[in-house]
């Protein structure tokens, strides 16, 4: 990959306490995979380097759950039903807050919350990227086989150059990670790299 920070946006998907903190509702289900790839440490390293070189960071947050979500919807999907029942990322709760290691800073863009998996569908992400003159996206966060894949695939459909970072995301099983990066990813992503490989590219980007 060739990374131009002027043309590239870093998409940080769902950096909530419920995913990233050990006390989070979903952390126990991702713990094995997260710790095996040093997910949080790698994600932070990518965000820190992106900010260092002046790459804009876009927060791509999932809808924060409320008790009456989807009650009048025609076809809520299974994950939406589960989210309502368990109230993951609940509105006005600790679990629905951004993890302390990933708090927004001045200049970051917080995109409208996505209702399902894609950060593009029914949000302003595409508009925000275009208004900032960006053509390429690096997608990190949670989960590899749901929101990461849906967002990255949608981005590819819209014409963006898409980079996946295999160890700056997580999933609820190693099988899901394998499917996301080794089976599905190569059908739409333009680059699939490790954090080490990405950081090497980013460190050269402004030289």
Cα–Cα distance, 20 to 24 (Å, whole number): 7
pLDDT of res. 3 = 80
In angstroms, the Cα distances linking 172 to 24, 46, 113, 138, 177 are 14, 22, 22, 21, 8
Query: Is residue 80 very low, low, confident or very high in pLDDT (cuts 50, 70, 90)?
Result: very high
- Per-residue pLDDT at 136 exceeds 90: yes
Q: What pLDDT does residue 207 have?
A: 67
Q: What is the mean pLDDT of residues 109-119?
A: 98
pLDDT number for residue 196: 97
Fold of the 8-63+99-205 domain:
Rossmann fold (3.40.50)
- pLDDT of 1 strictly over 70: no
pLDDT-based confidence at 204, cuts 50/70/90? confident
Banded pLDDT at 206 (limits 50, 70, 90): confident
Q: Average pLDDT over the chain, rounded to whole?
A: 96
Mean pLDDT of 135-140: 98
How far apart are the C-alpha atoms of 178 and 129, rounded to whole Å? 29
pLDDT in tens, 142-195: 999 999 999 999 999 999 999 999 999 999 999 999 999 999 999 999 999 999
Domain parsing of the chain, residue ranges:
8-63+99-205
């Amino acid at each position: 990959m060739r990374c131009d920070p002027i043309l590239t946006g870093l998409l940080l998907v769902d950096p909530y306490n419920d995913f990233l903190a050990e006390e989070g509702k979903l952390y126990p289900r991702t713990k094995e995979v997260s710790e095996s790839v040093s997910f949080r440490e790698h994600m932070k390293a990518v965000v820190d380097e992106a900010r260092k070189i002046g790459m804009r960071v876009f927060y791509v947050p999932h809808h924060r759950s409320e008790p009456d979500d989807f009650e009048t919807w025609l076809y809520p999907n299974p994950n939406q039903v589960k989210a309502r029942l368990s109230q993951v990322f609940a509105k006005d709760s600790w679990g629905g807050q951004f993890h302390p290691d990933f708090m927004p800073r001045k200049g970051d863009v917080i995109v409208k919350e996505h209702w399902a998996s894609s950060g593009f569908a029914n949000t302003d992400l595409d508009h925000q990227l275009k208004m900032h003159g960006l053509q390429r996206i690096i997608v990190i966060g949670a989960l590899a086989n749901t929101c990461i894949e849906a967002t990255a695939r949608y981005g590819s459909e819209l014409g963006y150059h898409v980079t996946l970072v295999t160890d700056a995301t997580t999933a609820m099983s190693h099988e899901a990670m394998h499917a996301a990066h080794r089976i599905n990813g190569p059908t739409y992503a333009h680059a699939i790299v490790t954090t080490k490989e990405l950081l090497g590219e980013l460190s050269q980007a402004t030289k």
